[in-house]
Structure 1
Amino acid sequence: MRQILCSAALALIPMAALAEPIPTSAGPMQAEPVVQDLEEPWAVGFLPDGTLLITEREGRLLSVRDGARREVSGLPRIRAEGQGGLLDILVPSDFAETRQIFLTYSKRQGFRGSGTAVYRAELSADGTRLENGRTIFEIARGTGGGFHFGSRLVEGPEGTLFVTVGDRGNPDEAQDLAMHNGSVLRIDRNGDAPGDNPFAEDRGAQAEIWSYGHRNPQGAAMDADGQLWVAEHGARGGDEVNRVEKGVNFGWPVISYGVNYNGTPIGEGQAKEGMAQPVHYWDPSIAPSGMAFYNGDLIPEWQGDAFVGSLKFDYIARLSGDPLREVEQIASDATARVRDVRTGPDGALWFLSVVNGALYRLAPAEGS
């Protein structure tokens, strides 16, 4: 499968467009543009036959294989407003048997509101349309505005899904268990809350909540031990990497390592009993989006390390160690406003650049 995907991808690369090698701790790397002319790309998924699926925020799902690009039909009605639109994509591990994929998007709720929703559908045999699609979950209504949808999807064990939701621009609601805002959710593939969720028996809480007190987690990934992590936006400073645990309160907006955009303090300080500390934080903010743990064979020096895209400073952060800390910044013209980062089935590190409107494959430079 790796050879198929690699061959299909390389066939799309205009060789003249290859930039100079990027110096990294693992040697010179080449960022190869695999798909270009994208309009605000948000996420990428890999199919077993080498097909790439790419979401564009304004509401397009693209299928790319063997140099051919086509738009996939059958999407739900998407409200592309502010930071909302068509967002993450998850190709589950059993896709070859089920042909199911999962998408997150901003769904209209009431006259003016919108909220993060999860859509499940089957990709047709010819890959041109989504079939039997339905919205399996949407957050509780009550929030307007186009901010902080979160919206990363991660496949959990036993058919569960983790979904990140931002505070939707209403910070206090991240502490309100009656709302989904500012939380990591755990649902099954029908959109229901598993019975062992931490608040499943609490009538005053939303049963889907797994952890809460998050601001806007736009990066999420599972490590090799099955541990879930998120990377989330702070305000002015205080972007965080958090090790997500069942039922934990991560403190937003009561505690934070950042300040409000006008420079005033946030909440009660940087720590409070009963609220978890981040494993790592950035100050100044890097605006993290897209997260992956490297588990390929192509770059053994990076095995097990985390990679997080920076929307603000145009680089990919490499985090390593215990506890995780940023140890390297991978930067070039290609890493302009990195929205998504994934380990590809070919062992390369793949990422989406919003500014360049392109999907890149980062791998050792030829001859290195």
Structure 2
Amino acid sequence: MHPSVHGLRVLLLPALLAMAACGGAKAPAVAGVEAADGTALPFTVTPVHAFKEPWAMAFLPDGRLLVTEKAGHLQLFDLKTGTATEIHGVPQVDYGGQGGFGDVVLHPDFANNRVLYLSYAEAGQGDTRGAAVARATLALDAAGGGTLQDLKVIWRQVPKVEGRGHYGHRMAFDRTGKLWISSSERQKFDPAQDMASNLGKIVRLNDDGSVPADNPFASQGGVAAQVWSLGHRNVLGLAFDAQGRLWAQEMGPKGGDELNLVERGANYGYPIVSNGDHYDGRDIPDHPTRPEFAAPKITWNPVISPAGLLIYSGSQFPDWKGNAFIGGLSSHSLVRITFDGGNAHEAARYDMGQRIREVEQGPDGALWLLEDGEDGSDGRLLKLTPAA
């Protein structure tokens, strides 16, 4: 386990906290951003807007921002005017617990085809539900709003189960145009090892939802053909590095949060192994006891509760190019990761004072965060720029 860097804290002035919570016009940059020991932090934090329980965001080519709100709303936010307009035609979500609207990503050729992808919790028969991914075309109007057209569900978790936790449903496109989706194990443990289910897996699809013929388990057919890797618990971040390698972070059980390098056909061991234990105190054997399972590159205990993953490629923070950033929920943090080939290390941890749900890179290379807005409350959109 790699040691964490502690003691960094963002000190937000109470008046600015109140201003940002109102969700009104853009607030000024936060004054007095400093570490607990009084030294300056490497960024300035600007609260920009407040959303209702936001979960994910994606920048459009024109600089506007799409933000999903967990209860089932998709907002189009104009950074120039500070106004948010709801996009219509979204799918109905099963809201509750950890479920609702999830991720939003753009097709690699969005500038030409206007296609985007949404993930969300979908109701099933009886008291069941599961994650789904829909593809749609975004039609914007002159008034600054828009509608989703030709919406079609292209992927579902199988089977739908009871409960409202561990959907995962993060998405990312690779450089070849393949769509990757994290499918968490819905707090059911064993499906992560069952190839008759796509729970507890990372899946790889074509952009239309069909299965690539070169997937590692394609010959098995069924949902197994979708699977790239298995043995995952609750994957809440996917990102490709400059070398095209896929990294995923996932929440462990009691202890044992992980950052994994995702490799073709690999089994990451859950629930057979984990560097954490069950919440009821029962032991789970650690990764070194079963070397046939792929081991994480970083584990955290105490946990950070990772949510959102970005590998930075911008120019505003040149020293951080190629670093990863992970939002922390229970840790109220932004965690910076450095890489050494296929290895990874925690380089710094910045205490943001709130649960951080999402991390994105803006068109100008700024870092953007979404606070969690837990239990229906407001979560602020924060812009991070280099400290003056």
TM-score by length of 1: 0.91
1:27: Cα distance to partner? 5.3
Matched, 1:21 2:28: no
1:204: Cα distance to partner? 6.8
Aligned AA (2:346): E
1:23: Cα distance to partner? 4.8
After superposition, the C-alpha distances for 1:219-273 in whole angstroms (9 at most, x for unaligned) are: 1111111111100000010000000011100000011000111222025764313
| Residues 22, 301 of structure 1: alpha-carbon distance in 2 compared, 3 angstrom cutoff | farther
Aligned to 1:188: 206
After superposition, the C-alpha distances for 1:289-314 in whole angstroms (9 at most, x for unaligned) are: 00001110001111100110110010
1:123: Cα distance to partner? 0.7
Q: 5 Å matches for 1:283-298?
A: 283-298=301-316
Aligned to 1:231: 249
In 1, the alpha carbon distance for the partners of 2:313 and 2:25 equals: 25
Do the aligned residues in 2 keep the contact of 1:23 with 1:29 (CA within 8 Å)?
Answer: no
In 1, the alpha carbon distance for the partners of 2:349 and 2:291 equals: 33
Aligned to 2:91: 76
Aligned to 2:260: 242
Task: List, as ranges, runs of 4+ consecutive aligned residues in structure 1 with deviation greater than 6 Å.
Answer: none
Matched, 1:100 2:115: yes
Aligned to 1:363: 385
Aligned to 2:166: 148
Q: SS state of the match for residue 192, structure 2?
A: helix
Matched, 1:42 2:55: yes
TM-score by length of 2: 0.87
After superposition, the C-alpha distances for 1:22-79 in whole angstroms (9 at most, x for unaligned) are: 459995311111222x111100100011111000111110001122211111111211
| Residues 159, 260 of structure 1: alpha-carbon distance in 2 compared, 3 angstrom cutoff | same
Aligned to 1:306: 324
Q: Which of 134, 141, 151 is the equivalent residue of 1:133? A: 151
Matched, 1:280 2:293: no
Q: SS state of the match for residue 321, structure 1?
A: strand
1:353: Cα distance to partner? 0.5
Q: SS state of the match for residue 291, structure 2?
A: coil
What percent identity do the matched residue pairs reach?
38
Q: SS state of the match for residue 275, structure 1?
A: coil
Do the aligned residues in 1 keep the contact of 2:275 with 2:286 (CA within 8 Å)?
Answer: no
**Unaligned residue ranges in structure 2 (runs of 5+):** 1-23
What is the aligned residue count? Answer: 352
- Which moved further from structure 2: 311-320 or 121-130? 121-130
| Residues 29, 22 of structure 1: alpha-carbon distance in 2 compared, 3 angstrom cutoff | farther
Aligned AA (2:379): G
Q: SS state of the match for residue 112, structure 2?
A: helix
Q: 5 Å matches for 1:198-217?
A: 198-203=216-221, 206-217=224-235
Do the aligned residues in 2 keep the contact of 1:162 with 1:185 (CA within 8 Å)?
Answer: yes
| Residues 96, 319 of structure 1: alpha-carbon distance in 2 compared, 3 angstrom cutoff | same
1:14: Cα distance to partner? 1.7
In 2, the alpha carbon distance for the partners of 1:133 and 1:290 equals: 25
After superposition, the C-alpha distances for 1:70-123 in whole angstroms (9 at most, x for unaligned) are: 111111121112101100010233111010110100111222111111111111
Q: Which of 350, 355, 360 is the equivalent residue of 2:368? A: 350
Q: 5 Å matches for 1:165-176?
A: 165-176=183-194
Q: What's the RMSD between the two structures over aligned residues? A: 1.9
In 2, the alpha carbon distance for the partners of 1:199 and 1:180 equals: 12
Do the aligned residues in 2 keep the contact of 1:88 with 1:103 (CA within 8 Å)?
Answer: yes
In 1, the alpha carbon distance for the partners of 2:386 and 2:133 equals: 36
Do the aligned residues in 2 keep the contact of 1:257 with 1:281 (CA within 8 Å)?
Answer: yes
Matched, 1:119 2:131: no
1:132: Cα distance to partner? 0.8
Do the aligned residues in 2 keep the contact of 1:22 with 1:331 (CA within 8 Å)?
Answer: no
Q: Which of 339, 346, 352 is the equivalent residue of 1:332? A: 352
Aligned to 1:6: none
In 1, the alpha carbon distance for the partners of 2:233 and 2:64 equals: 34
Do the aligned residues in 1 keep the contact of 2:87 with 2:148 (CA within 8 Å)?
Answer: yes
In 2, the alpha carbon distance for the partners of 1:204 and 1:62 equals: 35
Aligned to 2:17: none
After superposition, the C-alpha distances for 1:183-209 in whole angstroms (9 at most, x for unaligned) are: 101011111111101111014762111
Do the aligned residues in 2 keep the contact of 1:253 with 1:267 (CA within 8 Å)?
Answer: no
